[in-house]
Amino acid sequence: MQLARIIRSFFRFRRWALLLCVPGLIAAGLSDLSAKAQVESSLSTSHDGPATSVTISGRVVNVLTGLPVPRALVRFSDRAMLTTHDGKFEFDQVTDNRITLQVSKPGFYSTMEAGGPEGISLTPSQIAGPLELRLYPEAIIAGTVTAPDGDPLPHILVSARRRAFDGSALTWIPVAQMQTDSHGRFRLPVQSGDYKLESMYVPRINGTDQVALPAVVPMESSSGTSDFIYIKSGEEQHFDLHPAVSRAYTVAATFDSDIEHGFPRIKARSSNGATISLPVNFSHSGDAGSFRMELPSGTYTLIANVMSTDGMKQGESRVTVADRDVSGVIFHLVPVPTIPVELLLDGSETSDNAQPNLRQLGLILENDQPDSDILNAVIPLSMRRDRVMAFTAPPGAYRLRARSNGAWYVRSASYGASDLLQQEIVIGPGAGGTPIRLTVSNQTGSLQGTCDLNGAPAGCSVYLIPTTPSAETVFVQQANAQGVYNFAHLPPGTYQAVAFERRHSADYSDPASLVPFATHIRAVTINAGEKPTLDVDAVSEAEMSP
Amino acid sequence: MKLTSLLPLLFFLLGRPLIAASPTKAVPAAPYRITGTLVSSANGSPIQHGHLTATLVPRGSAADRQFPAPVGTFDADDHGHFSIAVPSSGMWRLVASARGYVTQAYDEHESFSSGIVLTAASPAMDVQFQLSPEATITGNVVDEAGEPIRDARVALMALSPIGPDSIQRPARIHARATTDDRGAYEFDDLLPGDYRVNVQAQVWYAIAAEQRGITTADQRPLDPSLDVTYPLTWFPGTTNPDQAENLSLRAGESRQADFQLLPIPSVHLRILPDSGVTVNGRRIQSYPMIERISPGGGQFVPVSAHIDAQGMIDIGGLAPGRYEVRMQAPGQTIKPALVDVAPGSVQTLDMSAPSAMATISINFDGIPEAEANSVQVSLIDPTTGLNVGRNGAGTYFLSGALLHQRRAGTVKRTIEVPPGRYEVVLNGKVNLYLTGITAQAAEATGRFVTVPGGNSTLTLHVADGRATLTGIALNQGKPSVGAMVLLIPATLGDPAGLNIIRRDQTNTDGSFDLNDVLPGQYILLAIDHGWAVNWRDPSTLRNYMMHGVPVDLTSTASMKETIEAQAP
């Protein structure tokens, strides 16, 4: 946008200056016209002023087959049309200054990976040649769900979760679900990516006393590291799930303290590592703190989480279900540890207006061993009853992360003797005394530059990964349509910079995630007060898929 | 025995009820036992790998409040033999399921089945349990270019035959399905019978291209080739429900019902809002909410609405059909209007025009005012089976609830419906029954009322205390098992009659239960193997009625009769 305005202003007032700029741009445009997946952009030289009328045309292509896609919908602002039988579209008399061109069709996605902005941002007056819009055929995860006796299990909910990174926190996002048909079959259309497939816990199949336990593909290995299904655009993969089906018995349990109308969430972890979130039934008889759940035979660790007015409480209990109902299980509730956070300003010069507060820093605790309960993957900072900001985190191991969007960054963080920028924080059951101490500073630098895709500037996603200890895993900025990006406030340190044509979700705290793109990585050092420039060239989508 | 309603089953699925019989598996030498063989009703061959559950059926006065848990699951062996130990005597409902067969209760017909009665004198019973092979209907839905349509809503209607009271019971929705990514759908677990299929789908490119929501900007209208919808289409491809094809399915049959949907220009509805609506003297902009009325309930439809400077609203993206339009303004709910949208036109709806609806005031006679509040009055359209009364008290449901308005201490109850003929049905108090209806500015015949536009008043005369009729049907001294028991009102054929036909099926000891019967005069009869008889034919029925037993049921009476079952 800025570039266009600059050019136009030159054109109006200093035509000679334009003549200097144009050759450079034409050279950039001519350098690689042969790349298929590219939006050609060169200055149109036949316009007088901003309100020109141009024709936008092109075709839509199936990336996998290279064939044109008929009857795809191409649209921008208030105009739309379906492509012809050979995938072509044409809009005439376009007078908008900027448009976002989007293409869609059932059975396709417009990006290879999920997330990221939809559509292509364009300045119509800068388009001369035909455009090529890409569609990625969806992938299908299909299969059957079968009971142990070989009969298919109909009407069971099957869910696909996609692996995604929120910073460096691993989450599994449910993206598609469907009930199996009368033959126990299912089909889930998904975007390419990494997935886990799960058939849901079914209490009382067909009104009987049989339950179906969840079945997960791929099976979780005992070490806890989870494997995943990788599926590419256009692929169909088939899986057969065999949930265990058995008779369930009632387990009656009570809490040892009054839960004050809180709602308990109960998880049962069986001896083979599978975790079931249990539906819980409250009995309406005398005691307010008793409830019932259904479990098949086996040995379980039951974990109850209760939100009450006092804060979160947790209790654990082991139960063995043999071949009859069980009663008398008692949960000993203890408050979930809360770790307060203290903020210190860095000694050196601080401006007297902007005082940081903890909320601006976007502090979270990332669970190092997340189970399928996505509610525990990331713990946010919240205010306790005594007005102290604290993390309420069940016992476990975590990494402290910050996602700041202001001028302040976390310079150091400690918990007792641990340096939280480099080590994980281990929270034990009785924790809560020691606070997390943070030192923040606003002595930042910045970074700007242009991002090229196959030789021409484009609106890529630029990622900066700190290699010096930092509370933030990765910094991301979107370059504009002219390829210009800007990171306004960067903590001093060394970074690896890499750009992608589209958003790329990965665990950037793991160095292995960058290895395939080694040729595109640039190293840069940022010092406080400096504003260096770094031009990067982006990994194109074509390079991404194996 | 009548199968208990879905409610107790739902209750059970949601949470273990308090009164639960939950026996453990290990019960030594239970004397009460049900044995038998699972066979196919088509050819009598044994069914492998069947599963059975048994549920105790409470009988008597407390029956409505007990929901025992099923006992099970028991597996039948490779030859279809099963042997079930149950923990007590009593009447047991046995339900069997097997792959490829419809899950049914023992000797099930329509919503009735034979309960297996075990007593101390006869603690064991051996039965031959027939299951009907399941029929299925599958199909594909494609669009005008032959591409699959996903997420199309397919409805399966089951047709019920006309009863001897000449009341056409409407086709009811038996099941719904949604097409998958290939446009495929499937209905399984079907009993033999007559079915119809219809499809309602959105045009994907019309939805994507049109800006949804409310817009006021001056915009280029959508290209006509994209401003299209799919009308509700019945198999094999007509939009006229009367021309829909009847799919007659036999046991175990599989039929294919494919659809190709063709788009039509979507209808634009212009709404002139009620200009008289002001808040504090300022004219406020109200926004339309559109709900489509179709059998089985209403559905919100995504529409696009453009509002011009005069406040006139242009709504696009509508398929032909009947809709309710309700103008919402902050803090106010304004009266709704019904509009029938016909294809290929721009229709105008003037919201400030006097409502064409019938506004009916409902009074009760026969119960205290306080109790009247818990009675739900529904007006059922006999041709569609839809409950069309409207609750205008701010909640947006097309359910026939009564609108309560408390004004200065008096309670005023009104229902708003389109003018027409309706059946009055009471819900909410189990023992209550209608003894008559008097109408002002409307007509009432029996339980049917015809209401014109404008105001009218109905006084519903009610009384408390339904009757119970139980008994035994014998066939030459031995119990008649699985016979059809009919209780026919003496006023059969009289449109002013208030009573309805009741049925039951005899259990293994010949017993039957007719609960919550409307008091009146009836003829009671039982027909051996009566489920194969066309009792709905009036002349056939009158033959049986001549040998029936007259019964006079007064309010709260509890009678027992022993009757001789007639030969079919």
Q: What is the pLDDT of residues B44-71, one digit of tens each?
A: 899 988 889 888 888 876 666 677 777 7
Q: Is the ipTM of this complex over 0.90?
A: no
Reported as a single tens digit per residue, the pLDDT across A514-542 is 888 888 899 999 998 899 999 998 888 77
Average pLDDT, chain A: 78
Question: What pLDDT sits at residue B297?
Answer: 52
CA distance A333 to A311: 12
Cβ contacts of B15 on chain A, cutoff 8 Å: 281-282, 292
Weakest-pLDDT range from A251-260, A336-345, B195-204, B508-517: A251-260
Quickly count: other Cβ atoms within 10 Å of residue B331's Cβ.
7
CA atoms within 13 A on the CB side of B300: 8
CA distance B366 to B372: 9
pLDDT at B399 over 50: no
- Which amino acid belongs to residue B493? G
Question: What pLDDT sits at residue A220?
Answer: 60
- Which amino acid belongs to residue B437? I
Q: Are B251 and B42 in contact (CB under 8 A)?
A: yes
| A513: helix, strand or coil | helix
A324 confidence band (pLDDT: 50, 70, 90)? confident
| B561: helix, strand or coil | strand
pLDDT at B370 over 80: no
Q: Are A456 and A538 in contact (CB under 8 A)?
A: no
Q: Are A202 and A175 in contact (CB under 8 A)?
A: no
Taking the Cβ of residue B70 and every Cβ of chain A, the question of whether any pair is shorter than 8 Å is answered with yes
A33 confidence band (pLDDT: 50, 70, 90)? very low
Min Cα–Cα distance to chain A from B137, Å = 12
Cβ contacts of A82 on chain B, cutoff 8 Å: 205, 225-226
CA distance B32 to B23: 13
- Which amino acid belongs to residue A494? T
CA distance A433 to B280: 58
More confident residue, B400 or B145: B145
Most confidently modeled range among A403-417, B377-391, B395-409:
A403-417
CA gyration radius for chain B? 27
A19 confidence band (pLDDT: 50, 70, 90)? very low
| Cβ-based neighbours of B200, under 8 Å, separated by 6 or more | B152, B153, B155, B230, B232, B233, B294, B319
Cβ contacts of A92 on chain B, cutoff 8 Å: none
Q: Does the CA dihedral B270-B275-B280-B282 come out positive or negative?
A: positive
pLDDT at B371 over 50: yes
| B231: helix, strand or coil | coil
Taking the Cβ of residue B77 and every Cβ of chain A, the question of whether any pair is shorter than 8 Å is answered with no
pLDDT at A183 over 50: yes
Question: What pLDDT sits at residue A21?
Answer: 39
Q: What number is the average pLDDT over the span A475-499?
A: 89
Reported as a single tens digit per residue, the pLDDT across A97-139 is 888 888 999 999 988 887 767 778 777 777 778 888 999 999 9
| Cβ-based neighbours of A122, under 8 Å, separated by 6 or more | A39, A56, A98, A99, A100, A101, A131, A481
CA distance B273 to A30: 58
Average pLDDT, chain B: 79
Q: Are B396 and B289 in contact (CB under 8 A)?
A: yes
Contact A106 B204 (CB under 8 A): yes
Contact A80 B222 (CB under 8 A): yes
pLDDT at B513 over 80: yes
Q: Which of residues 452-471 of B touch A (CB under 8 A)?
A: none
Compare all CA atoms of chain A with the CA of B51 and give the residue at the minimum distance.
Answer: A208
Q: What number is the average pLDDT over the span A348-355?
A: 59
pLDDT at A396 over 50: yes
Reported as a single tens digit per residue, the pLDDT across B427-452 is 777 788 888 899 998 999 888 899 88
Contact B186 A140 (CB under 8 A): no
Min Cα–Cα distance to chain A from B272, Å = 25
Question: What pLDDT sits at residue A6?
Answer: 40
Reported as a single tens digit per residue, the pLDDT across B518-561 is 888 899 999 988 888 888 888 888 888 888 899 898 877 788 88
| B33: helix, strand or coil | strand
Q: Are B499 and B555 in contact (CB under 8 A)?
A: no
Question: What pLDDT sits at residue A206?
Answer: 64
What percentage of chain A exceeds 90 in pLDDT?
19
A235 confidence band (pLDDT: 50, 70, 90)? very high
Min Cα–Cα distance to chain A from B100, Å = 9
Contact B99 A73 (CB under 8 A): no
Question: What pLDDT sits at residue B302?
Answer: 62
Question: What pLDDT sits at residue A280?
Answer: 66
Cβ contacts of A75 on chain B, cutoff 8 Å: 208-209
Question: What pLDDT sits at residue A497?
Answer: 93
Min Cα–Cα distance to chain A from B16, Å = 8
CA distance A540 to B152: 37
CA distance B547 to B531: 18
Q: Of A539, A526, A544, A513, which Cα lies nearest the Cα of A451?
A: A539
Contact A71 B70 (CB under 8 A): no
> Which residue bears the tokens 């097997």?
B98
More confident residue, A247 or A30: A247
A289 confidence band (pLDDT: 50, 70, 90)? low
Q: What is the dihedral of CA A387, A392, A398, A403, to 10 degrees?
A: -50
Quickly count: other Cβ atoms within 10 Å of residue B79's Cβ.
11
Sheet with strand B376-380: strands edge to edge: B376-380, B420-427, B448-451, B443-445
More confident residue, A305 or B205: B205
Compare all CA atoms of chain B with the CA of A188 and give the residue at the minimum distance.
Answer: B181
Cβ contacts of B205 on chain A, cutoff 8 Å: 71, 73, 80, 82
Q: What number is the average pLDDT over the span B190-215?
A: 80
B8 confidence band (pLDDT: 50, 70, 90)? very low
3-state secondary structure B439-501: EECCEEECCEEEECCEEEEEEEEEEECCEEEEEEEEECCEECCCCEEEEEECCCCCCCCCCCC
Question: What pLDDT sits at residue B61?
Answer: 62
CA distance A219 to A227: 8
Q: What number is the average pLDDT over the span B193-216?
A: 78
More confident residue, A424 or A357: A424
Q: Which of residues 134-173 of B touch A (CB under 8 A)?
A: 134, 136, 145, 147-148, 150
Taking the Cβ of residue B189 and every Cβ of chain A, the question of whether any pair is shorter than 8 Å is answered with yes
Question: What pLDDT sits at residue A283?
Answer: 54
pTM of the entire predicted model = 0.77
pLDDT at B403 over 50: no
Contact A75 B209 (CB under 8 A): yes
- Which amino acid belongs to residue A461? S
Reported as a single tens digit per residue, the pLDDT across B410-427 is 456 777 777 888 888 887
Cβ contacts of A178 on chain B, cutoff 8 Å: 180
Tell me which of B22, B181, B223 to substitute to probe the interface with A (most A C-beta atoms closer than 10 Å): B181
Q: What number is the average pLDDT over the span B387-401?
A: 40
Question: What pLDDT sits at residue B407?
Answer: 37
Task: Give the nearest partner residue to B25 out of A138, A140, A323, using CB atoms.
Answer: A323
Question: What pLDDT sits at residue B365?
Answer: 86
Task: Give the nearest partner residue to B188 out of A73, A182, A206, using CB atoms.
Answer: A182
Q: Does the CA dihedral B496-B498-B499-B500 come out positive or negative?
A: positive
More confident residue, B115 or A204: B115
Question: What pLDDT sits at residue A544?
Answer: 75
Cβ contacts of A106 on chain B, cutoff 8 Å: 147-148, 150, 181, 204
Q: Are A519 and A487 in contact (CB under 8 A)?
A: no
B284 confidence band (pLDDT: 50, 70, 90)? low
Cβ contacts of A247 on chain B, cutoff 8 Å: 25, 73
pLDDT at A485 over 70: yes
| Cβ-based neighbours of B156, under 8 Å, separated by 6 or more | B137, B173, B174, B175, B176, B177, B187, B190, B195, B196, B197
